[in-house]
Chain A
Amino acid sequence: MWWDLAFRIFNFVVLLGILYFAIRTPLSSYLKKRQETIRQEIEDAQQAKQAGQRELNEYKTRLQAIKEETAKILQAAIREAERERERIIEEAKQMAEKIKRQAEQGAQQELQMARQRLQEEVAAITVKLTEELLKKHLEPGDHERLVDEYIEQVRVLR
C-alpha cells in the first residue's frame, strides 16, 4: 500500500523534475518578455500621460491667452461704446443748444417785428390825431405864421 503511495509520489517528483527542466527556459524567456512588454507599456503610458499633460498645459495656456484676448476686446468695445455714447450725448446737447438758439432768435425777430409794427401803428395814429387837431384848430393867424416861416426858409436858400 505504502509502496503504491511511495511510487506515485516518486512519479510525481520525477514528472516535476522533467517538467522543470523542460519548461524552465521557455518560461523564463516568456516571463522576461512579458516583463519587458509590461515595462514598455508602462513607459508608453507614462509618455502618453506626459504628452497629454503637455497638451493640456498648452491648451490651458492658449485658453488663458484667448480669455485675456477676449477680455481685452471686450474692454476696447466697452471703451468704444462709452466714447460713442459720449459723442452722441455731446451731439445731442449741441443740437439742442442750436435749436434753442434758433428758437430764441426767431422769437427775438418776431418781437422786433411786432415792436416795429406797433411803433408804426402808434406813429400813424399819433400823426392822424395831430392832423385832425391841426385841421380843427389852425386859425388864420397860425396860417399866416406858417407862411412867414416858409418865407424865412426860402429867403435863406440859394
Chain B
Amino acid sequence: MIGKKIAHRYAKALMNIGREDGKYERYLAELDTFTSLYQKEGRLRDALRNPTINLQKRQAVITELGGRLGLSDVTTNFLRLLVEKDRIVHLPDIVVEYRRLVDEAAGRARVRLVTAYTLSVGKQEALKRVFERLVGKGVIMEVVQDPSIIGGVVAQIGDRIYDGSVRTQLQALKSRLAKG
C-alpha cells in the first residue's frame, strides 16, 4: 500500500516532466530497458540498494549505465534520484504506475494476454479489435505464452480479468462435479 503510494508519487513526477517536453513515451521505453537489466542482474540490484556503498559511487554506476544504454538525461537523473532517496527498490512498481499514466495520457489501454500457444497475427489483430471496442480506446497488446492454461485466452486490462482459459473451465467443471 505504502509502496504503491510512493510509486505513484515518483511516476507522477516523471510524467509531469514527460508531458512538458512531450517525451513521456521515450522515458517509458528507457525505464523498461533499465528495469529489465535491474531485474535480471542481482549484483546490480544489490549494489544499488546497499547503503554501505558510498552514494556517489552508486550514482556513478547509474550514470555509467545510462551512457551505455543511451538513456536520456531525464531518465538517468530520475534513476539517480531514486538511489539518492533509497527508493530504487520500488523501481518495478514505479514503472508499472508510470506505464499506466503514459497509457492514460496517450488514451490507450494495455491488454496483457496469456495464451497457451503462439497466436497468429490475424488472431492477435482480431483480439486487439475486440478489446478496443470493449474499452472504447486504443489498446497495446502484451502477449505472453503460458502452456499451463492448456488452451484459450486470459486477458487482463487494468484490474479486470477476462478468463477464457481451458484451465479455468476445467476448475469450474471440477467444482461442479464435486458438488454433484
Contact = CB atoms under 8 A, between A and B. Distances in A.
Interface of A: 116, 119-120, 122-124, 126-127, 130-131, 134-135, 138, 140, 142-144, 146-151, 153-155, 157-158
Contact of B177 (A123, A150, A151): A123
Given A119-B177, A134-B151, A154 B162 contact: yes
B116 to A, nearest CB: 7
Contact of B151 (A127, A142, A154): A142
Contacts of B131: 154
A155 B133 contact: yes
Contacts of B151: 134, 138, 142-143, 146
Interface of B: 115-117, 119-120, 123, 126-127, 130-131, 133-134, 147, 150-153, 155, 162, 164, 166-167, 170-171, 173-180
Given A135-B150, A140-B117, A127 B177 contact: yes
A32 to B, nearest CB: 127
Given A131-B150, A138-B150, A147-B153, A124 B174 contact: yes
A157 B166 CA distance: 19
A117 to B, nearest CB: 10
Contacts of B177: 119, 122-123, 126-127
B134 A123 contact: no
Contacts of A135: 147, 150
Nearest to A139: B117
Contacts of B166: 134, 138, 146
B174 A147 contact: no
Contacts of B176: 123
- Interface of B, secondary structure class, is helix
Closest 5 CB pairs of A and B: A123-B177, A150-B164, A123-B178, A127-B174, A120-B178
A127 B170 contact: yes
A131 B119 CA distance: 21
B55 to A, nearest CB: 50
Interface centre among A124, A150, A153, A154 (most CB of B within 10 A): A150
A134 B151 CA distance: 9
A127 B170 CA distance: 6
Contacts of B127: 147, 150-151, 154
10 contacts: A123-B177, A126-B177, A131-B150, A134-B166, A134-B170, A135-B150, A138-B151, A147-B127, A153-B162, A154-B155
A153 B153 CA distance: 11
Contacts of A138: 116, 150-151, 166
Contact of A153 (B126, B164, B180): B164
